Structure 1
């Protein structure tokens, strides 16, 4: 790997599940982390600005570095030294795929430094880091990602969201940890709830891509959101208020952010005290890698 080689990676945020598509659906959003990486003769230098500055480690345990190392190992390359500058806009621990974006950024940077295009192995590697593929697939592919596992491999396909889709984020100040909220989920669910989820998640793909008028029904959930209410009661209150007004609101990923899927970017007059409203477009490009030198 040539000393002096530089790449810039831009990775979008993502919202997983979309209510009914637990661990299967992810939507890419126009909110980006940007990582510049350069190969140098020795050492490791990391700078972080924006989200996570002063909080994330600045050594080999940094998630972008760990993912980058895994990618170059997979590709049979080894940079002698690295300089990274991470400009983060994706809020941490809010259910917007910040860890998935960091993983994708590292893997995309590793591929870029090795002069290789992103491929199915990159997706699988990213999902192995994350433990599931919905967020990383959306960040990699853009648009709406449908993810699954098959024969020990993580896979995903991208489908094109409807042109009229206008997501709105309702973001609280509080943080959440995925490993904590996953611990609130039961080991088993009733067969009727599983059947309900199967039908609504299939409908969600159709609603997001072709029939936004069906989004309210398509995003109904029985598998995860109510079970996690003790972790973020205010989030569930906002979600129910919005759905009561006909808005297709879901918990974004592991929460506590609420994602409202609208066609006009407008929310009804409900109590959003303690939350920040942030309209965002759908990202349709996914992770971008630019060679700088």
Structure 2
């Protein structure tokens, strides 16, 4: 096993993500310009210091069970390096338990930190980064946009290896995310999925997910119809009735609203900035809970890592 140079320091930034986007269950994901930032310094063996600012500062672990630490350890072992001591300073903005990819962001940030720590000794490819992130996350639809940015189509090949394709989103699309006070467990959300779905519903979602790609890349005017779904949102509605109710009201006003990831946040893929204001006003009038509206751009860079001495550029997909 090789050793990481003590004192080597890297800065990492990773975007929030929204997965599924309505019909693209476990396949489509979008990177959003809301970021977690991380500074990691390789320290002498046995040292572990974790400082957290922002989201999670009061409740995330400060030991080896921290997801970032686990991701660094997983990646370094794969690269053939011993685990060094670590000094970690996290500055978190991505909400936890709200369907905006916080766990995927933590995993990707840890892997990218490991890449930066060994970049002067070994080059790591983007395929390896996606593979490692998927091994920890379980599926690639959230980690792919976090790594590569933009709109991503993720899939697993017949040999079990994950892949993704990055697409540029039409410049007119203006996302707004509506974040409730309540949280949602991804495990609970997945448990509500049926083992089988009707043939007609499967065909429905195939057509809508194909249309959604066209809408996001070329034809935003068909976004409302393109974001229809029959595979997962209705089944999960009972676990997040406030989310389901607001989505119904937003869509009744012609706004392409979907559950963000496992929920309970809502992503509205507006055709223009003016629609954002309409969506925010409808959410503000909802008396069932309090919604925080954020209006991030689509992130196009994905995860970045910079060593204090030199920048490490992630290979293109």
TM tier, smaller: over 0.9
Displacement of 1:125: 1.2
Residue of structure 2 in register with 1:132 after alignment: 139
Residue of structure 2 in register with 1:86 after alignment: 90
Residue of structure 2 in register with 1:52 after alignment: 56
Residue of structure 2 in register with 1:26 after alignment: 29
Residue of structure 1 in register with 2:286 after alignment: 272
Say if 2:300 is the partner of 1:284.
yes
Equivalent position SS for 2:277: coil
Out of 196, 208, 221, the residue aligned to residue 188 of structure 1 is: 196
Displacement of 1:118: 4.5
> In the alignment, is the contact (CA less than 8 A) between 1:250 and 1:259 conserved in 2?
yes
Say if 2:165 is the partner of 1:149.
no
Displacement of 1:267: 2.1
- Runs of 4+ aligned residues of structure 1 deviating over 4 Å after TM superposition are none
Displacement of 1:128: 1.6
> In the alignment, is the contact (CA less than 8 A) between 1:7 and 1:289 conserved in 2?
yes
CA distance in 2, matches of 1:99, 1:17: 16
CA distance in 2, matches of 1:80, 1:257: 37
**In the TM superposition, what whole-angstrom CA distance separates every residue of 1:233-277 from its partner, at most 9, and x where no partner exists?**
010011011111110000000000000000223325533341111
CA distance in 2, matches of 1:53, 1:30: 21
Displacement of 1:117: 4.3
Out of 258, 261, 270, the residue aligned to residue 250 of structure 1 is: 258
CA distance in 2, matches of 1:287, 1:117: 14
Q: TM-score, normalised by structure 2?
A: 0.90
Say if 2:183 is the partner of 1:175.
yes
**In the TM superposition, what whole-angstrom CA distance separates every residue of 1:208-239 from its partner, at most 9, and x where no partner exists?**
11111111111100000010111110100110
Residue of structure 2 in register with 1:35 after alignment: 38
Equivalent position SS for 1:267: helix
Out of 108, 114, 128, the residue aligned to residue 112 of structure 2 is: 108
CA distance in 1, matches of 2:101, 2:306: 22
Q: TM-score, normalised by structure 1?
A: 0.98
Map 1:116-127 onto structure 2 (within 5 A): 116-127=123-134
> In the alignment, is the contact (CA less than 8 A) between 2:77 and 2:83 conserved in 1?
no
CA distance in 2, matches of 1:161, 1:127: 24
Matched pairs, number: 293
Structure 1's unaligned 5+ residue stretches are none
Equivalent position SS for 1:229: helix
Equivalent position SS for 1:32: strand
Displacement of 1:165: 1.1
Structure 2's unaligned 5+ residue stretches are 310-317
Equivalent position SS for 2:142: helix
Displacement of 1:85: 0.7
Higher mean displacement: 106-115 or 123-132? 123-132
CA RMSD of aligned residues (A): 1.1
Equivalent position SS for 1:15: strand
Displacement of 1:13: 0.1
CA distance in 2, matches of 1:9, 1:118: 17
**In the TM superposition, what whole-angstrom CA distance separates every residue of 1:12-47 from its partner, at most 9, and x where no partner exists?**
000000001000000000000001000111211111
CA distance in 1, matches of 2:117, 2:55: 25
